[in-house]
């Protein structure tokens, strides 16, 4: 009997919780439906449509009129949070003066105080939220506050602190590449890449430094992507050195990087090492030669296309031949006339502009 | 003789008691684990993450595979729905599995498709591919259509798609399913955020689409189904995905990633032979084989689940079609258990062998048999006057209230996390459904499961067949 009563009570409690959550959700929606258009209108009037912004007046010289904002119920926490969220929303979509002015508005409304309070919360989710807000609003936070969090046991907090450090630290934003020991996840790399490539006034170092000295493979792999993004040709010797690494995933990344940097000097080296490489590296070598398109390795590509027993290698070789089209026109024509049925299909596949991959 | 019968009776009673008790405890545990898993998910995920990924050049490429067989009624709006997905790098492969209606003609004319010379390398054997089509319109450059000979199974069609897929991960869905616009972003995140293990599959919650409003393949308004049978399925899906799968996901013991929507590692799926075209539960079979492959090759793997609803599918609205579906599922489960029985309680397969497989065997495969035998014995005892009615009534009432409680908890987690449905009375409508489920819906499931087992044992011929879709209508004015 007791179990029946417990089951009934839990069910009733669940109903009440559903009712309560829907009621609170309804109230929240109602409040926000009323407040958000007001906040948006104020931001548009004061910042987005501000003639001084359009005229290019520096944000520091623009006096914001906060009267309209003072009429908002900013003494209530939910209203302050809603205002912060809207400012962040606008700031994510604008650059330059308007972005700086949104930041000024955030500071002048003293919304950063709430964020700072969240930073002191014992709950990691709140700290992460606060750090994300600081990153979005570009509010400087002292290194002593962020650095301890970069070693937090909580992965989300650790990652957010690292992002904040790179974005907000005025000293050495890339310092943490030297000390990070755990692997950077694919997601960390996506976030770091965004932060590094979108932060204004950040001095971009030569990433070859970490390619050469870092013992963290994920840091090296990430730096190779940054080298490609910033087209850092001075890093080529360091990347070329990485071709000797025993880790074939890293080697494949290095070959990929050299291909994207279009370094013709490494072609001979890539061809000479080709036969001793695992499939993944061989594919990258063929792609790299296609990207470099110097025309010096057409015979090698032709040989691979005709004689490789692996379908993917033949396809990669054909693709690279097609990329070398200007210099390999005769070879491609010859292959079209003489290739067997399967190779002919591969060649036609690679030549068809409708087929992307 | 009488002594033996009485001993057998007592043994049966005791076994059944332990069986029931363990089942109730497992569900209580799942309710707790699912709460932890959902809480972790909601704390961790922000919409901002999706925005970042949507604009990142580092997002992993994804291939969407959608097999179609006689889907002429909905094919165009469904492909349009797939084309609206929000993701920076993906391709869509529609596999026309030898449709006998005008599915292929519609695709060709609507999306300006032309046959191309495509270098097709079948790593998994399938029925022959006739032609491969690409669109001449740059707006549909991510779309590809495979026209193949009918393989009499969804598995054969998807395998042809896997052979042609470009990217390392593929998302398998049914072409009649409607996906949330952020589906690919949501499915990619768990792969990118996993710290230690290789994520070989990711699933997400499915919902019944029957009474929801759609426009050009995009969900406009979510409603619980008006008809009783689809509404039972909606409640069942919430319990199964939000409570069951999320609970299992928390301890990395997900038994199945639904065929309606799932992301898979292409290399692992290909190496273990792709979908089994002879299986009636090809989705569960593939995942079991992928996990088995991972164990055999010492790959530390993870299978993840997302509590958010990302996919809407049309649930069978007539008992006839519903019976076909559930009979097929039950037959698939029996096939799976038979084919992979060597994993059962085998420590070599870790959690898969010691938790997932035994649970599926005892509480999924045997459950209909246990229930059926229970009913027969109950009737016998009632006829012979051996039932202690006050005690039996209490027990029955407890099972009933417990079943309602578990389903209500699943609805609660769903509501607290995502607050689906616009009106409160739509949720109330859903909350009332479990009261009838026990009496009306559950007996049907048991019956169709038994029929599936019977077909499995007798080897009755059957195909995946046409589900006779109604199609998704536009928003009602």
Mean pLDDT of chain B: 90
Q: Do A354 and B119 touch (CB under 8 A)?
A: no
Condensed to tens digits (0 to 9), the pLDDT of residues A278-335 reads 999 999 999 999 999 888 899 999 999 999 999 999 999 999 999 987 788 888 999 9
Give the tens place of pLDDT for each residue, B219-230: 888 999 999 999
Residues facing B114 on adjacent strands:
B134
Q: What is the DSSP string of B244-276?
A: IIHHHHHTT------TTEEEEEHHHHHHTTSS-
Report yes or no: B313 and B176 within 8 Å, Cβ to Cβ.
Answer: yes
Q: What is the pLDDT of residue B477?
A: 38
Helix (H, G, I), strand (E, B) or coil at B67: strand
Q: According to the model, what pLDDT value does residue A273 have? A: 94
Q: Do B126 and B159 contact (CB within 8 A), yes or no?
A: yes
Nearest-angstrom CA–CA distance, B263 and B271: 16
Angle at B323 between CA B321 and CA B329, to 5 degrees: 110
Q: pTM for the complete prediction?
A: 0.90
Which of B52, B60, B121 minimises the CB distance to A194?
A: B52
Collect all residues of chain B within an 8 Å Cβ-Cβ radius of residue A352. Answer: 116-117, 134
What are B337-350's pLDDT values in tens digits?
999 999 999 999 99
Of B114, B192, B419, the CB nearest to A187: B192
Best B412, B420, B425, B432 member to test A by mutation, with max A CBs in 10 Å, is B412
Pair of tokens at residue B3: 């002594």
Is the model's pLDDT at B471 over the cut of 70? no
Q: Which residue has the higher pLDDT, B466 or A162?
A: A162
> Phi and psi for B148 in degrees, rounded to 5?
-130, 165
pLDDT-based confidence at residue A101 (cuts at 50, 70, 90): confident
How many CA atoms lie within 13 Å of B88's alpha carbon, on the beta-carbon side?
13
pLDDT tens profile B127-166: 999 999 999 999 999 999 999 999 888 899 999 999 999 9
Higher pLDDT, A255 or A169: A255
Q: What is the pLDDT of residue B353?
A: 92
CB atoms near residue A57 (< 10 Å) = 14
Burial pattern A70-84, b for ≥16 Cβ within 10 A else e, equals: eebeeeeeebbbbbb
* First and final C-alpha spacing in chain A: 66
Q: Is the pLDDT of residue A152 over 70?
A: yes
> Does the beta-carbon distance from A7 to B136 stay under 8 Å?
no
Does pLDDT of B386 surpass 90? no
Cα–Cα distance for residue pair B260/B277, rounded to 1 Å: 17
Q: What is the dihedral of CA A265, A267, A273, A277, to 10 degrees?
A: 130
CB neighbour burial string for B310-331, b if at least 16 within 10 angstroms, e if fewer: bbbbbbbbeeebbbbbbbbbbb
Number of alpha carbons in the 13 Å side-chain half-sphere of residue B239: 20
- How many Cβ atoms from other residues are within 10 Å of residue A60's Cβ? 9
Contact B117 A8 (CB under 8 A): no
Q: Annotate A201-232 with DSSP letters as a single string.
A: TPPPP-THHHHHH---HHHHHHHHHHHHHTT-
CATH class of the region B31-356: alpha beta
Q: For an interface test with B, which of A5, A222, A354, A356 has the most B Cβ atoms less than 10 Å from its Cβ? A: A354
Q: What is the distance in angstroms between the Cα of A305 and the nearest Cα belonging to chain B?
A: 13
- What is the model's pLDDT at position B48? 76
User: What residues 7-46 of chain A have any CB closer than 8 A to a CB of chain B?
Assistant: 7-8, 10-11, 14-15, 17-19, 21-22, 25-26
């Amino acid at each position: 009997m007791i179990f029946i009563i417990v089951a009934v009570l839990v069910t009733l409690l669940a109903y009440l919780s559903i009712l309560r959550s829907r009621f609170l959700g309804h109230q929240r929606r109602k409040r926000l439906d009323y407040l958000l258009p007001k906040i948006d209108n104020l931001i548009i009037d004061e910042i987005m449509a501000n003639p001084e912004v359009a005229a290019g007046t520096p944000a520091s010289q623009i006096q914001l009129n906060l009267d309209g904002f003072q009429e908002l119920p900013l003494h209530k926490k939910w209203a302050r949070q809603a205002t912060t969220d809207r400012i962040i929303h606008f700031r994510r979509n604008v650059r330059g003066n308007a972005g700086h002015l949104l930041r000024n508005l955030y500071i002048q409304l003293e919304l950063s105080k709430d964020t700072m309070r969240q930073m002191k919360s014992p709950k990691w989710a709140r700290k992460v939220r606060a750090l994300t807000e600081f990153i979005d609003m570009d509010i400087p936070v002292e290194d002593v506050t962020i650095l301890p969090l970069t070693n937090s046991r909580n992965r989300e907090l650790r990652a957010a602190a690292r992002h904040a450090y790179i974005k907000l630290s005025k000293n050495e934003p890339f310092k943490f590449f030297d000390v990070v020991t755990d692997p950077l996840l694919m997601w960390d790399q996506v976030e770091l890449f965004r932060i590094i490539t979108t932060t204004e006034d950040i001095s971009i170092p030569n990433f070859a430094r970490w390619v050469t000295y870092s013992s963290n493979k994920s840091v090296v792999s990430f730096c190779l992507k940054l080298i490609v993004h910033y087209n850092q040709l001075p890093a080529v010797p360091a990347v070329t050195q990485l071709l000797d690494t025993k880790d074939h995933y890293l080697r494949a990344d290095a070959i990929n990087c050299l291909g994207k940097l279009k370094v013709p000097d490494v072609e001979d080296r890539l061809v000479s090492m080709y036969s001793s490489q695992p499939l993944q590296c061989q594919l990258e070598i063929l792609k790299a030669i296609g990207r470099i398109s110097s025309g010096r390795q057409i015979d090698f590509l032709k040989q691979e296309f005709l004689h490789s027993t692996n379908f993917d290698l033949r396809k990669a070789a054909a693709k690279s031949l097609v990329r070398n089209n200007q210099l390999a026109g005769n070879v491609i024509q010859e292959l079209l006339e003489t290739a067997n049925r399967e190779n002919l299909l591969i060649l036609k596949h690679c030549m068809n502009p409708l087929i992307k991959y | 003789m009488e002594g033996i019968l009485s001993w057998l009776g007592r043994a049966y009673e005791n076994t059944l008691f332990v069986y029931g008790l363990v089942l109730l405890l497992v569900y209580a545990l799942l309710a707790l684990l699912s709460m932890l898993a959902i809480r972790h998910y909601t704390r961790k995920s922000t919409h901002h993450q999706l925005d970042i990924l949507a604009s990142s050049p580092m997002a992993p490429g994804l291939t969407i595979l959608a097999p179609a067989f006689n889907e002429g009624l909905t094919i165009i709006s469904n492909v349009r729905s797939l084309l609206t997905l929000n993701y920076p790098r993906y391709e869509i492969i529609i596999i026309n599995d030898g449709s006998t209606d005008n599915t292929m003609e519609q695709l060709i004319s609507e999306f300006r498709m032309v046959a191309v010379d495509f270098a097709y390398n079948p790593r998994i054997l399938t029925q022959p591919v006739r032609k491969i089509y690409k669109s001449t319109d740059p707006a549909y450059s991510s779309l590809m259509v495979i026209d193949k000979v009918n393989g009499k199974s969804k598995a054969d069609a998807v395998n042809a798609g896997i052979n042609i897929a470009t990217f390392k991960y593929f998302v398998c869905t049914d072409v009649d399913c409607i996906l949330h616009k952020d589906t690919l972003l949501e499915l990619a995140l768990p792969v990118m955020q996993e710290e230690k293990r290789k994520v070989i599959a990711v699933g997400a919650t499915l919902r019944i689409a029957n009474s929801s409003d759609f426009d050009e393949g995009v969900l406009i308004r979510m409603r619980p189904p008006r008809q009783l049978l689809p509404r039972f399925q909606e409640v069942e899906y919430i319990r199964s995905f939000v409570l069951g799968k999320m609970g299992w996901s928390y301890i990395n013991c997900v038994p199945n990633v639904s065929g309606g929507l799932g992301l898979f590692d292409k290399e692992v799926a290909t190496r273990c032979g792709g979908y089994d075209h002879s299986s009636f539960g090809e989705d569960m079979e593939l995942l079991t084989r992928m996990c088995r492959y991972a164990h055999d090759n010492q790959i530390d793997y993870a299978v993840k689940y997302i509590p958010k609803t990302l996919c809407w599918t049309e649930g069978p609205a007539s008992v006839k079609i519903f019976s076909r579906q559930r009979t097929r599922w039950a037959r698939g489960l029996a096939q799976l258990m038979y084919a992979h029985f060597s994993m059962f309680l085998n420590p070599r397969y870790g959690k898969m062998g010691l938790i997932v497989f035994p649970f599926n065997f005892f509480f999924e495969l045997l459950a209909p048999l246990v229930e059926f035998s229970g009913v027969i014995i109950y009737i016998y005892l009632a006829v012979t006057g051996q039932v202690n009615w006050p005690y039996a009534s209490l027990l029955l009432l407890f099972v009933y209230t417990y079943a309602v409680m578990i389903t209500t908890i699943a609805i609660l987690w769903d509501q607290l996390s995502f607050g689906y449905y616009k009106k409160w009375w739509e949720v109330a409508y859903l909350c009332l459904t479990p009261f009838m489920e026990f009496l009306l819906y559950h007996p049907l499931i048991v019956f169709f499961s038994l029929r599936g087992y019977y077909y499995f044992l007798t080897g009755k011929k059957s195909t995946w067949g046409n589900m006779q879709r109604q199609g998704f209508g536009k928003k009602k004015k």
